Chains A and B, each alone.
Chain A
Amino acid sequence: MNPFTLVRLPTLDAARERVSAEPQRRTFRAGGIDLLDRMKEGLDAPDELIELHAIAGEHGARMRGIAATEDGGWRIGALVTLGQLAGYDDLPPAYGAIKDAAGNAATPSIRNGATVGGNLLQRPRCWYFRHSDLLCLKKGGYECLAVSGDNRFNAILGGGPSFIVHPSSLGSAVVALDAKVTIAGESGLRTIPADQLFAPPTVDPTREHTLAPGEVLVSVDLPPALPGQRSAYHFAKEKQSQDWPLAEASVRCTVEGGVIQDLRVALGHVAPIPWRSKEAEDVLEGAAPSAEVFAKAAQAALSVAEPLEGNAYKVPLAQGVLRYALHFATSTPLPA
């Protein structure tokens, strides 16, 4: 790891301007979990880390808080830790997916440092990207080494030219919950739908999000819950203590008059971005919840999958994970 300077600036604008002036040399630090990993592995060598935790005042409070908004929604600050979010009892059960996603990520010690913003903006875990000896497409090389290499954990949906899976566990939840994100940039704050935060590799294979250099994620904004809104998050891992999911699913819906409505389905760790599944939504919107229709929807969701040589198993696995999430979101009993 190269020596670096830790810079504490008390305002969001000062922090932002400091990084925008020389984005190659400077970067923001929030929880620092992934950042320090990358620095220790020699993947990144910034000279300056700008401490987001040092930001005071109104912006700082917004970034550190969880609060109900005037329109009836909820705002989760980007500096809120995963542990705080997972343990925040006042957040209505309608938003359960994001709490469960936060509570099942990593370990208690990481969740106590890792932030919501950092979780959404962390870099991928692909072992070709993470190996300091190897130059992959994501690091400016010519090809995605996963294509011909060991791709057991790589994308089965939306891959190409890079086949990473998006590493954020909150990702599928924010997309399913139809959240927005607020970003601080040169012209002040702006709010965009969460799915526009994530950039597929066709746009630029070296990045995973759409923030301009020096822009800061300020908060995740959950819209007002629909009447009777339910949500669920589920995952499968090879290892139950501290592991990255093989697949995740987040579901939001209402069940009115015995049929599913307002359904949003998003899958995690299967694609380079949190993957909205319109195919599953089409099967289920207006249908009565049942194990059979969930199985059909899960099949539809993965019918567009294009697995690589070593990850075909993720297709049935992701189907299984989605089926669980659909059962949980609609409180439909699981088959024996």
Chain B
Amino acid sequence: MAKTEIKVGFGDQVKAVSVELPKGEAKPWDADAQLEVVGKPIPRRDGALKVSGRAKYTYDVNLPGMLYAAVVRSPLPAAKVVSVDTSAAEKIAGVKAVVQVAEKGDAVLFAGQDVAAVVAERPEQAWQAARAVKVEYEQRRFVTRLAFAATPDAPLVHRGAVEERRTEGHVTEGGGGDAQGNKRPLRPMKKGDVSKGLKGATVHEAVYETQVQTHSALETHGIVARWDDDEHLTVWASTQSIFSVRDELAEVFDLKPTNVRVHTDYLGGGFGAKFGASAPGSRLGTIAARLAKQTGAPVKLMCDRHEEQVCTGNRPDSIQTVKVAGKGTALTAIEVQSIGTAGIGTGAGVGRNAFAVYTKCPNILVDSSDVFTNAGPGTAMRAPGHPQGAFAFELALDELATKLGVDPIELRLANDEHPVRLWQFEEGAKRFDWKAKRAESKRLREGKARIRRGCGVAASIWGDFGRPKAAVVTCSVLRDGSVEIRNGVQDIGTGIPTVLAQIGAEVFTRPLDTIIVRYGDSELGSSVGSGGSQTTSSVTPAVRNACEDAKEKFIEHVAELLGAKPADVSWANDGTLSAGGASITFAQACKKIPGESITATADRPATYGNHPMPFLGAPMPQIAGVQFAEVEVDTWTGVVRAKHVLAMHDCGRVMNRLTCTSQVNGGVILGTSYALMEQRVMDHDVGRMLNPNLESYKICGAADTPEIEVVLTDVYTGANNTGAAGIGEPSTIPTAAALACAVFDALGEPVRRLPMTPSRVLAALGAVPAPKGLG
């Protein structure tokens, strides 16, 4: 195979490398590529539809004769189902069917678990019927408190084998040992020997805690299911992974996957909890399809907010004991011992920040365990494990920096090896005016000022998980002069259809509004789930290959029209095609297409480059990011305000500067919310969530959002033909950590527990004893 030379790198660190391109692969857009449309800040195509309410979400789908379902949920955190009496519910007007989901003798493991379901002509009839189902339970002992659940005295949450839920994009850390009681160790991340690194070093050790965060997408989980005949099922699903919905329903109902059609025209937020036909803690998708089959009518089942909060997944909490040691500016040892609970589910690891960012440290151990509790299952949530791990580790690092008497940035620069992140630290420090700001916060702190200010910085790490062969894209040049791109990918909300249109416009040198993008439908060609920050880097290279192939065929067609060789056809920016003195416009050439279109179908090969630095030894690039945060703390009330976040991020070649910046804005807002207010509150005596709403489960609003400054570092990775990499997850990883470091700078005392509410801040200031933690 022939070698192709491409330019990779970033900023002024660009070099030429030779790559072996897989067959049919377009030459990558590298550092030398001059692009007209890709990379530009182009508004998303459906923006007007969304803000005006004309975009129809799953919630808005209303089919003729459609029925409404509701699920009866256990109010108890642990119980055995003794009996289910559906007779009263069946008599309610409009009710078409009542079914049991849990059978007599089944165990209930958390408050909110599916027990039965009803379907009726109107939603209010369904809710009324759900309340009328009488379930008798035998109560069992339960545990919802993490620290207690990890002890031998705690009641066992799971009595049998644990079913592991795998979700696309959720890189599981895998079981590393045998379960003891409710505790189940994850595979440790280890290098060197920590005890060696502690010797003669300055050591900081402390315990850090993070809370359970719920996904709280504005559109709740839900589905509309319609049987077209016994063998064919069509659903509209609020999902971030159309094809896993299809495959799951096919499996449950024993259908051919191609006989299940899934539509997701618009999605009101995903964040990791919407990969399946159902939700992590409720089989609502199969319930809807089952009821649709039973009644012979389409059925809609959408969660209400209470259900959404208790049974559709969450980011697990953590209690992390962090030990970090250094000499001068060199880190000599890092150890993290962590437990966390994903409720009845798994996946409470703490990510890769402590292990894989400050790689000059020779001795590292990150050891974490899942602890089962009687609460709704955790699931993948925007960078699973990472924000919690980043918070604990980066704050510990700043506490060590204080002990060592070094500046936090100096310490990071001395131990990180990623060239892009090093650049982001240095460039960010200049833009942020780091030194002057730190001097000012010191002055306010030492003067015991009423209003303090503080600055912090933290790092992000992620991998370019772009998937090979997953996305199959068809590109057609149509007789009417438009170019149509088809792929079944869903838009999780990042604006992917706009980006795909940009690729088409770039390849064909055609106006953006002549590029049609069809998406959100499993009939349009297989595609990836939107998880692992991989949609853009998985789909855009396949789109480009399909477009380049269709273009080649189109040029052959033009050459024939002009009586020339394809190689002699020149393509002007205005769409004029000429060869040997003859010319034709693009529109004219399209009209003369034999049949309806010139079409090509293509996919994306495996990642073939990893500049400038691989991700944890894997053959893919590591994505770098650094965020700087500034806070203001009112010492009279303990209220923390996030004032400013400077987010410096790499996502390979930026495809669309506007939608990409939007993703970073979203990541920062989510991280700010996590840092300052979001928190599932459980009552450990009654085993229920006390704030299953969006009122006392607090999500940062406009007045809480800092000024966000986004700097996108274009990096040419040579990994795929568009150079796209991920940004969704990396952009939320360091926010809470940077804010916590900023609060430490403001107070001179760390707040080692998220969220940093007035209660915790006043405790850090010594105004009150520290409140009880998760233990």
B-binding residues in A (CB < 8 A): 1-3, 42, 125, 127-128, 131, 133-134, 145, 148-150, 152-153, 236-243, 246, 309-313, 315-317, 319-321, 323-324, 334-336
Contacts and interface: CB of A to CB of B under 8 A. Distances in A.
17 contacts: A3-B124, A42-B131, A128-B683, A131-B690, A133-B75, A145-B686, A148-B685, A149-B683, A149-B686, A149-B690, A236-B634, A242-B701, A316-B767, A317-B638, A320-B635, A320-B637, A334-B450
Given A127-B696, A134-B686, A313 B759 contact: yes
A236 B704 contact: no
Q: Which of B75, B634, B695, B769 has the most CB of A within 10 A?
A: B695
A150 B758 contact: no
B702 A127 contact: no
A103 to B, nearest CB: 13
A310 B771 contact: yes
A320 B634 contact: yes
Interface string B629-651: 00000111111010000000000
Interface residues of B, number: 45
A173 to B, nearest CB: 19
Nearest to A37: B695
A293 B124 CA distance: 58
B284 to A, nearest CB: 20
B772 A309 contact: yes
Contacts of B509: none
A109 to B, nearest CB: 13
3 interchain residue pairs of minimum CB distance? A241-B701, A320-B636, A240-B703
Given A127-B691, A317-B762, A336-B447, A240 B704 contact: yes
Given A134-B688, A239-B677, A152 B124 contact: no
Contacts, number: 108
A240 to B, nearest CB: 4
Nearest to B767: A316
B578 interface: no
Given A133-B75, A150-B690, A240 B641 contact: yes
A160 B51 CA distance: 48
A1 B127 CA distance: 8
Nearest to A152: B759
Contact of A238 (B111, B683, B690, B758): B758
B698 interface: yes
B83 interface: no
Given A240-B701, A241-B702, 16 more contacts: A2-B128, A125-B696, A127-B681, A131-B692, A149-B683, A149-B686, A150-B690, A238-B698, A238-B758, A240-B704, A243-B698, A310-B759, A312-B771, A317-B758, A317-B762, A323-B636
A149 B124 contact: no
B75 A336 contact: no
A308 B450 CA distance: 27
Contacts of B702: 241
Contacts of A242: 701
Interface in B744-768: 757-759, 762-763, 767-768
A2 to B, nearest CB: 8
B449 interface: yes
Given A1-B124, A133-B75, A236-B758, A313 B698 contact: no
B700 interface: yes
A158 B685 CA distance: 25
B701 A239 contact: yes
Nearest to B449: A336
B295 to A, nearest CB: 24
B769 A238 contact: no
Contacts of A336: 447, 449-450
Contacts of B695: 125
Contacts of A150: 681, 683, 690
A320 B761 CA distance: 13
B147 to A, nearest CB: 16
Nearest to B762: A313
A125 B771 CA distance: 22
B768 A313 contact: yes
B720 to A, nearest CB: 40
A324 B634 CA distance: 11
B641 A128 contact: no
A238 B695 CA distance: 12
Nearest to B447: A336
